[in-house]
A and B are shown apart, each in its own frame.
Chain A
Amino acid sequence: MSRSPHYAASFLYEKPGPRGRRNILIGSVISALVLAAIVGLGLWQFGSHGQLDADKWLPFTEWAIWQYLFVGLGGTLLAAAIVAVLGSLFGAVLALGRLSRLRVLRWLSTGYIEVARTVPVLLLIYLMLFGLPQLGINFPTLWKLVIPLTIANAAVFAEIVRAGILSLPAGQSEAALSLGLRGGQAMRLVVLPQALRNVTPSLVSQLVSLLKDTSLGYIVAYTELLYRGQVLSAFNHLLIQTFLVVTLIYLVFNGSLSALASRLQRPGRRRAPIAVPLPVPGASVPHTEKETHA
């Protein structure tokens, strides 16, 4: 039987009978009331402090404000693009290193991946921002954000690519080798293209996480969305409204990317990518649907 994500839960219960339907109706009414009460309470709290007044929200109907924030979004996208390119290249190299036959390469790559995964990005950013300048090393603002993010994301990309390579049947590289391709050729022409296609959903999900991480640009005062929001709120004193609008922009933008990722993951399409299997202990592949193919 097929379990597409939308009906993932349907196997947990049968089609409800008259009593079941009544219970569901009662449950629906109660939960609707509770949710409405929570939302209402929140709105009342906001309203009683004048946060819902029209003059606090009207500025956000002006195009100039949106233009100002969209410049920030541009900065977010630029930083994310650089990290994505550098991180995925570096990550692919690390993945190949971790699967290499040379023990030294394997140890170096594994060591790097394990270290980079378990150090907070903020610590690296503080090192770039406050630590290295004390030694006379000072990067431009953009790179103070991009370098730490690349260091961290390369490790994650490496694990995703490695999972993709390992998920491929060994027959693929065996066939390539028996056709007379050399190891490198087999990897480049046969294994990697298929492996990357298989892990596209995980790569897109990681892109969302990367876009979220660029909000750390706020700390290094790099012009990205959150930083622009902060500057804007210092100017218009509409803290709640500004941060909610910024949050909404992130939500819409990343939400579309996430939707794309889950579309890519849906089975039944031609050349549909498969989901990455459960990570082996110690690996850090983002957890994905295990049973998209029932």
Chain B
Amino acid sequence: MNILSENLGLLLQALGTTVMMTVVAGIGSLILGVLVTVARVSPIPILRAAAFCYVQFFINVPLLALLLLAVFALPDAGLIMPLTPTAIIVLTVYEAAYVAEAVRSGVNTVAVGQVEAGRALGLSLGQSMRLVVIPQALRAVVQPLGNVMIALAMNTALAAVVGVVELTSRVNKVNLVYAQPIEIFTAAGLVYMAIALAIGLAAGRVERKVAIVR
């Protein structure tokens, strides 16, 4: 435990990076994912096809390959950004595909009568999406979205591979100095478990608050 308290400042800073990446990429992927879902169920064939391709692409390609592509290869084409923002953007567009999958299955749970009632009241398609379909779809998939956010928190660790100094990377560096792997890695594992637990509990709370009792 000595090692951990000696390096507390550095470790907390790294934890801050991990949490910051999770929060920013999480909010970004929720927004982007909902937009992709809207495109995917829209009456415009081109948008539907584009959203379908988007989701299929990111669900079938490894995150690490995308990170390497964005961080090491794209600068060759003049597309260069600071390291951490690049990693956050890649995480956002990647997880957005999973958010879109979850929200789409939520859209499928919205009862047909809800949409018909909206139409009967004279809502336009946009209005019925915004006011009727998406709110109910999101309420139905709080728990799956929580699971996507937990996966996102775990995936921020991959940013360590391209050089972002977040928790996994910092822990590894501390261990290379002190050579006490069991202690150090267990501590890091516990921190990640705490993050996942926090997201899971938050999702549970939100679900209880917004769930539609049928």
Residues of chain A having any CB pair with chain B under 8 Å: 1, 3, 8-9, 11-14, 16, 20, 24, 27-28, 31-32, 35, 45-46, 48-49, 51, 114-115, 117-123, 126-127, 130-132, 134-135, 208, 212-213, 215-216, 218-219, 226, 229-230, 233, 239-240, 242-244, 246-247, 250-251, 254-255, 258, 278-279, 281-282, 284, 287-291
Contacts and interface: CB of A to CB of B under 8 A. Distances in A.
9 closest A-B pairs by beta carbon, nearest first, are A131-B181, A9-B41, A118-B196, A120-B157, A215-B62, A254-B60, A287-B144, A239-B73, A212-B62
A250 B171 CA distance: 31
12 contacts: A8-B104, A9-B40, A13-B125, A45-B79, A46-B77, A115-B193, A122-B158, A216-B64, A243-B68, A244-B69, A250-B65, A255-B56
B176 to A, nearest CB: 6
Contacts of A16: 43
Nearest to A152: B154
Contacts, number: 198
Most-contacted residue by chain B among A11, A114, A244, A251 (CB, 10 A): A11
Contacts of A240: 69, 73-74, 76-77
A118 B141 CA distance: 20
B146 to A, nearest CB: 9
B172 interface: yes
Interface string B107-126: 11100100100010000010
Interface string B127-168: 011000100000001011001001000110110110000001
Given A3-B108, A120-B192, A254-B59, 11 more contacts: A12-B115, A119-B193, A120-B155, A126-B185, A131-B175, A131-B181, A135-B181, A218-B161, A226-B62, A247-B69, A278-B144
Given A24-B44, A290-B109, A279 B125 contact: no
A290 B143 CA distance: 14
Contacts of B46: 28, 31-32, 35
Interface in B51-102: 56-57, 59-66, 68-69, 72-74, 76-79, 101-102
A27 B181 CA distance: 57
Interface of B: 40-48, 50, 56-57, 59-66, 68-69, 72-74, 76-79, 101-102, 104-105, 107-109, 112, 115, 119, 125, 128-129, 133, 141, 143-144, 147, 150, 154-155, 157-158, 160-161, 168, 171-172, 175-176, 179-182, 184-185, 188-189, 192-193, 195-197, 200, 204, 207
Nearest to B146: A281
B73 to A, nearest CB: 4
Contact of B192 (A12, A45, A118, A218): A118
B65 A246 contact: yes
Contacts of B147: 279, 284, 287
Contacts of B160: 122
Given A3-B108, A135-B181, A212-B61, A49 B76 contact: yes
Contacts of B158: 120, 122
A167 B48 CA distance: 32
Most A-side CB within 10 Å, residue of B61, B62, B115, B200 = B62
Task: Name A's interface SS.
Answer: helix
Contacts of B74: 240
Nearest to A119: B189
Contacts of B56: 255, 258
B181 A120 contact: no
B61 A123 contact: no
A278 B68 CA distance: 34
A282 B200 contact: yes
B185 A279 contact: no
Nearest to A291: B108
Contacts of B102: 287
B108 A28 contact: no
A118 B77 contact: no
